[in-house]
Structure formats: C-alpha cells, structure tokens
Amino acid sequence: MGKYIDFAYIKTNANFPAVLGHYNIETQGDGDEVRCNCPFHDDETPSLSVNTDKKVFTCHADSCGEKGNILDFVNLMEGECGLREAAECLAEISQIPCAKPKPAGNNRRQGKSGKKANRKNGSAYSQTGQKKGFKQGKKSVNPEAEAAVKAAFEDGEPLFDDDDDEPDDSLKPLSFQLTLDPNHQYGKQRKLSASAIGRFEMGYCTRGLMSHRWCVPIHDQHGDLVAYVGRFAADPVPAAKAKYKLPKNFKKNRVLFNLNRIAGYADDVVVVEGVFDAIRLHELGIPVVALFGSSVSDEQIEMLTQYFDCVHVMLDGGANKARRKLVDRLAQAVAVRSVVLPDGDDPESVDEEFLREKLPEFVA
C-alpha cells in the first residue's frame, strides 16, 4: 500500500527556497516575499510571487493565475504527478522525512504490523472502546492558562485562534475537556446506550459555542483530544441553527473519527459519514471510522491505507453519486467494497439484520 506520508508535516517543514533552487528558478527580492518568472506559462516579466515563510505562491498574470501551497507547486512542476508522489519529491528536495519521526520508545502508532499482536480474543477494540494507553487529552503545565482557554471556549470564543487567511495545518490537542451532562434526555431520545455514552464520553453542553448541543469528543489517530462536534439537541432544528457544529478552523479532513479505538486491531474497516453512524456500528463490534461527510481527503486516504487492507464504504441510502465518487477515489489506493443502503436509511438506523447480511465478516 506504500509508506505512510504525513502531508501536513511535509508542507509545514518543507523548504521553499530549496524547491526554487532545485528547479533552477532565479528569484528577485529579499526576505520572505520574492518574485520570479512563472514556470507555468511563457513569462518574460516576474509575475510569480512566492512567500517562502507561508509557503504559498501566486501567479499574477491573467493568462495563468496558478496559485497554491508548496505541495501544489511541486505537483505542477512535476507535471501533475499526484499529491502522494509530489509529497515524496518535496520531502526529498527539503531533506526531511515523509512523516514526523517517532520519539524513542513511542509505539502508539502501530499500523498494520502490530495488528496480530493486538488482536487478543479478536475483539479488543469492541470490548474496551479505547486502546490501552491512549491519552484522553494533554495535561497543561499551567492550570491557570488551561482554565482561561476552557473558559474562553465555553463563553463563545473560537476554539483555535488561527487567522482565517493563514490556517494552521496542524491539529492542536486540547488542554482541557468540556463539562458535559451524560444523563441529558437527548441521549435517551437518540437511543444511545449508557455504555456507548460512557465509552465515547458524550454529553450535553450548556455553555458557549456548543450550548444546547449534544457533544462528542474527537480524537486523532494517536488518541489526543483535538475537538468536539456538537449536534443540536432538539428536533426539528431551528432554522437559525446548524444541525452540527465544529470549532472554527478545525481541520476535519485530517481526522478519521474512531480511528484511535480500532487502529491495529482489524484488517478491514467500514467507512461512514457521521459520528453517530460510527458509534452505532462500533457498539455492534464493527471496526468503523467516520469521514465527517461523504468526501475523503488525501490525508484520510493515507491513514486508511496505513492501517487497513480493505475499506467497506457505507454512506447514507440514496447518496449514490457521492458513494460512487468516494469508491472511485479510494480504489486508487486501497481495496474497496461498496455497501449500498436502502434509500432513507443510514448506518445509525438501518436494521441489524441488513448489517448481518451485508457485513457477515463483522456481525455475527
């Protein structure tokens, strides 16, 4: 399936001056802002601007208009070879690894090589719901600062303070956990079991950005708490309210919900759209991750290929176009199988007998 590539790590640590030198592109100007003849069209005047610090480029010629980040630049220079090959090329030019080196003794990310050793009794993930040793969120070395961040979030401030024009490519582990009520009536209305509520640490939030929402913590593949998703805890949802809410600037396309609980314990995985779909299937003992939608990013594909041999796509019933598009994308990188639900059904609500028929390898 190919080695693991951390696209965000490469883009953050790549060296744009080294890239320009690699392609013999002469620049004008000093500092972070330089200009050069655009290599993507016949350019006699320097129409391409490059910010080597932000690692972005823009061609100002009306006949061209190419722009993007440093990975896009290499991809274009290599004849649109594809993001994976471009990332490997960019890492080589910048003389950096394709993923953040692991600290000595760190074995949290096991990938496929550690599956068999972890598959004790064949159902470790479904019994525990969380890999032993995974962190539930980083502890702050400054309790006062941690309390201030949590208070700001609960009072309605953005979870992350990234500038909208300069989004951070990294996922930032939270230094706090929200105070949630697991006994709120919405959990019962949703028919969530007490074990599921406890395992996923869900509950109702009364303050701030997530007020009046049933919140589910989101962890990255290492088990670090990186965000919460909040579902408005009433139906019908008021017109002025979004049904689901994620924090400002949260990079949902860099996370696979529930991967932290099943990575290393299964060869196959079921891919669904939403967190409640994933929670329902996980409680049935099915290895499952959620995309936060019906599209998949390069980073998510990399994670799927790192941990699993086969992906079973199960989108909401009726989403035929989105399902075909998703299957086509995944098929370029991993073995994939499509599971078609009846129109109007979704993985959270579909009959269990249907799941036994369509997923006999998972549901007894």
* 168 & 228 share domain: yes
The whole-number average pLDDT for the span 101-126 is: 47
Q: Provide the pLDDT for residue 149.
A: 47
Q: What is the pLDDT of residues 180-216, one digit of tens each?
A: 999 999 999 999 999 999 999 999 999 888 999 999 9
Domain that holds residue 82: 7-94
Residue from 133, 149, 119 nearest 224 by CA: 133
What's the mean pLDDT when you consider all of the chain? 81
pLDDT at 112: 60
Stretch among 96-110, 126-140, 328-342 having the lowest mean pLDDT? 126-140
Tell whether 221 is covered by a domain: yes
Q: Is there a single domain that holds both residue 262 and residue 231?
A: no
Q: What is the CB neighbour count within 10 angstroms for residue 275?
A: 21
What total number of domains does the chain contain? Answer: 3
Encode pLDDT of 224-257 as tens digits: 999 999 999 999 999 888 999 998 888 899 999 9
Which pLDDT value is given to residue 133?
30
pLDDT at 98: 87
| pTM for this predicted structure | 0.61
Q: What is the distance of C-alpha 131 from the center of its chain?
A: 19
Give the separation between CA 111 and CA 308, rounded to whole angstroms.
8
Decide which of 190, 218, 250 is a domain's last residue.
250
Q: What is the pLDDT of residue 74?
A: 93
pLDDT at 95 over 70: yes
In this structure, the answer to whether residues 67 and 79 fall within a common structural domain is yes
- Give the highest mean pLDDT range of 144-148, 167-171, 195-199: 195-199
Residue with the larger pLDDT of the pair 187 and 123: 187
pLDDT value of residue 80: 81
* Distance (Å, whole) CA 349 – CA 115: 30
List Cβ neighbours of 181 (8 Å cut-off, separation of 6 or more): 203, 204, 205, 206
pLDDT in tens, 271-300: 999 999 999 999 999 999 999 999 999 999
Q: Does residue 71 sit in the same domain as residue 150?
A: no
Which pLDDT score, from 0 to 100, does residue 361 have? 77
Q: Is residue 109 part of a domain?
A: yes
Q: Reduced to 3 states, what is the DSSP secondary structure of residue 209? A: helix
How confident is the model over 321-342, as a mean pLDDT?
91
When pLDDT is averaged across residues 105-127 and rounded to a whole number, the result is 45
- For residues 291 and 227, state if they share a domain: no
Q: Are residues 235 and 141 in the same domain?
A: yes
Q: Are residues 111 and 79 part of one domain?
A: no
* Confidence label for 111 from pLDDT (cuts 50, 70 and 90): low
**Residue 219 within any structural domain of the chain:** yes
Across 266-271, average pLDDT: 92
Instruction: Evaluate whether residue 182 is within a structural domain.
Output: yes
pLDDT classification of 338: cutoffs 50, 70, 90: very high
Question: DSSP string spanning 284-348?
Answer: TT--EEE-SSS---HHHHHHHHHH-SEEEE-PPTT-HHHHHHHHHHHHTTSEEEE-PPPTT--TT
- CATH (domain of 25): 3.90.580.10
Where does a domain end: 250, 279, 304? 250
Do 229 and 306 reside in the same domain of the chain?
Answer: no
